[in-house]
Amino acid sequence: MKILDWYILKRYLFTFLMMLLLFIPIGITVNLAEKIGKILEREVPFPAVAQYYLDFTIYFANLLFPIFLFLSVIWFTSKLAN
């Protein structure tokens, strides 16, 4: 691979990872806000909640993976054009 290819790949992957790191906590927070009443009402133990949110994080990332790719391409190409 040429130097320019590596540069573009690194910049794109960085943008994609930033999209993941920005949107996944937002999804977790929204889901937690929706379910906190049921969690507290049923007195669910913390390990079960932690396991649920670990699984939810993987599910949420896989569900929105195409959107993250699309947004990353748009963001990356707009930054590259500058």
- How confident is the model at residue 73, as a pLDDT? 92
- How confident is the model at residue 40, as a pLDDT? 96
- Give how far Cα 13 sits from Cα of 8, 51, 58, Å: 9, 28, 18
- How confident is the model at residue 80, as a pLDDT? 86
* pTM score: 0.80
Walk along the chain (82 residues) in steps of 10 and give the mean pLDDT of each run: 90 93 96 97 97 97 94 91 84
Distance in angstroms (rounded) separating the CA atoms of residues 23 and 31: 12
